[in-house]
Amino acid sequence: MRTVKLSLITMSLIAMGSTVQANSLSEALSNGKVTGDISVTYESRKQDKEVSAYYSNTAYSVGSVGINYKTADFNNFSAAVGFRAYNTLYEDDDTFATSQGKGDASERFYDKAGSAMLSQAYLAYDVENAHVKLGRQGLSTEWLTKIHDAVTVYANPVKNSELELIWTKRRGRVYARDLRHMVNVNKDKGIYKAGLTYTFNDNIKAKGYFLKAPQAYDIYGAKLHLDSKFDNTKVGLLLHSMETSEKVGTTKDGEMIEVKAYTTVAGYTGTLGYVKTGKDNGWGSAANAGDTVVPFEEGDQMYVADSTTTYAMLSKKISDVSLTVLYGITEYGIYEKDEFDLWAGYSFTKNMRFNLGYALTNEDKDDASTTDMQQLNATITYKF
């Protein structure tokens, strides 16, 4: 298990607090909450042809246990720590050399990460109009996703506004279906982000954001959300524009336009999406630390230069069963591919859930770097 510098800082701050406010902090610790889960995941991939270690026929099952502890609040401070431990239960080929190690599972569960890893370790400060976290935490924001060693600030400087400030040093994945060790983003220089969201009224919300990877690239973006409700029907529209300013290796900047329309009626949620990338350099460096744009299980060609993707998605929850189907077509350069995805979930009990995913890609036969693929994944989780 790797313990990173920010995690050490977080634990040190907790220890410092214990010497100053032993009695009160002791109460905060004793009133903390422990949560966790036991999960088993299975995944298989079948290709029409094996074109790389990633695009190969593999099958594996991995079990994991996640434990999390969060203190109660003390003077608006709280702290959390968690980890996940893994064990490979089955591999169709345990000698297969992937790009990350040996064995079918190593393409998603990196050998370099070891058998256990910190999933969170942060110190938080929360008041009515400001929320601060220092340490390992999950992020899901434009171009920064998964697990990060970061400092995040969310504040409401004026009414109807939210200020987002982030600095991230490392990124990884610590999930039941994915384990990737923490690696530096932008080498050792990190990435800075600033965003401002303003809610004009119940129907209109806008956001502008800026990311800076020092000496590497900048990202500029703007989003506009339009939402309305008519009786029991909700409709909405998202307009999103992004461009990069590249500073290393290329003079060609990245670009992207995203348009997404959605509606909810009678429990069904339908979404129509359109994503267009720049002709010269696609998204550029924008997705180096994650994205919230690609809806597919795969969707690799959405990143490349001169690609246009259109998709339709439909979701419905019936009792304890949730279903989502997605179909889309990507045209990129002289090629075209399509992808079909199905996700299903079922809650056996309040604490036990089963999730199933299926992906089918139909690649362009003239693109020698790709191959048709079927992927099946299944995960069962018991939470406590």
Mean pLDDT (the chain, rounded):
92
Residue 20 φ then ψ, to 5°: -90, -40
Say how far residue 223 (Cα) sits from the centre of its chain.
19
Query: Is the model's pLDDT at 51 over the cut of 80?
Result: no
What Rg value do the Cα atoms of the chain yield, rounded?
A: 22
Provide the percentage of residues in the chain whose pLDDT is more than 70: 94
Q: How far apart are CA 264 and CA 281, in angstroms?
A: 35
Summarize the confidence of residues 320-343 as an average pLDDT.
Answer: 97
Q: How far apart are CA 263 and CA 345, in angstroms?
A: 21
Concatenate the DSSP letters of all residues of 281-306 into one string. TBTTTGGGG--S---SSS-GGGGSTT
Query: Is the model's pLDDT at 2 over the cut of 90?
Result: no
- The number of beta carbons lying within 10 Å of the beta carbon of residue 365 is 12
pLDDT in tens, 56-94: 899 999 999 999 999 999 999 999 999 999 999 999 999
Concatenate the DSSP letters of all residues of 127-154 into one string. ETTEEEEEEEEEEEETTEEEEEEEEEEE
Concatenate the DSSP letters of all residues of 167-184 into one string. EEEEEEEEETTEEEEEEE
DSSP state of 369: T
* Distances in whole angstroms, Cα of residue 33 to Cα of each of 21, 116, 183, 318: 20, 21, 30, 31
In this prediction, residue 9 has a pLDDT band, given cuts at 50, 70 and 90, of very low
The 3-state DSSP composition of the chain as helix, strand, coil percent (nearest 5) reads 10, 60, 30
Summarize the confidence of residues 4-14 as an average pLDDT.
Answer: 44
151-158 LR contacts (CB < 8 Å, sep 24+):
151/6, 154/130, 155/129, 155/130, 155/131, 156/129, 156/130, 157/129
Query: Is the model's pLDDT at 3 over the cut of 60?
Result: no
Say how far residue 210 (Cα) sits from the centre of its chain.
19
Residue 23 confidence (pLDDT): 52
Q: How far apart are CA 135 and CA 132, in angstroms?
A: 10
Query: Is the model's pLDDT at 184 over the cut of 80?
Result: yes
Q: How far apart are CA 212 and CA 326, in angstroms?
A: 33
Tokens at 189, concatenated: 């220089």
